[in-house]
Amino acid sequence: MRFITWNVDGLDKEGLFERTLELIPILADFDVIFLQEVTDEVEEIIKSNMFDFYHYSGKSIREYFVMMLFRKTIVASEPVVNYKPFGNSQMGRGVLFSGVTTKCGQEILFMTTHLESMKEYGQARIEQLHHCFDFMNKTNADKVIFGGDLNARDAEIKSLPAPTLEKFKDAWERCGKDPNKKFTWDLLKNDNKSFGGGFKPRCSDSLTVRNL
């Protein structure tokens, strides 16, 4: 089973149709897909081109939202997916989740989110991060895969209780910490965005697992 999480940057309308079409064959190589900053236009393109998947969206506002896709051949039956908005979000953020039984009999909780953006919303982001991990700690699911655009700084991750950090492992770290694969959005390599003053951010989307 292959997983991917991707912020599709649907709010940037420049080349959005072409960018999304280019994304389709990349996503189609994976079995479980988490998407953030999806817009209606992006969702329609995905649904129109990815027939082999179940598609689910979680919306607090109309402008953008998160999605979760499951390849039909890997699940025992069509998943039941739920969405819970964050009570403290000023950006329409929430968490999309589903307990899935795979064809081989594994029971896995899948969760994706897009936590509050920007440095000044750090406290709200920390509260959202703790909410997600509290939920995972309370679930009966033995296996968990949680991914998305967390926007979380290292210090914010370290605010989680030590026992939680022990139970949940970052997938990039589990796979050997290859420095060439650390950043999922790197403006030192990509020219699809530009910021004033020569600022070139490097960000890592998160994929966290338990008992996998």
CB 52 within 8 Å of CB 71 = yes
- Burial track 154-183 (b if 16+ CB lie within 10 A, e otherwise): eebbeebeeeeeeebeebbeeeeeeeeeeb
Count of CB atoms situated within 10 Å of the CB of 13: 10
User: Looking at this protein, which amino acid is placed at residue 88?
Assistant: N
Among candidates 109, 124, 96, which has minimal Cα distance to 36? 96
Count of CB atoms situated within 10 Å of the CB of 191: 6
Active site residues: 149
Among candidates 121, 53, 135, which has minimal Cα distance to 93? 121
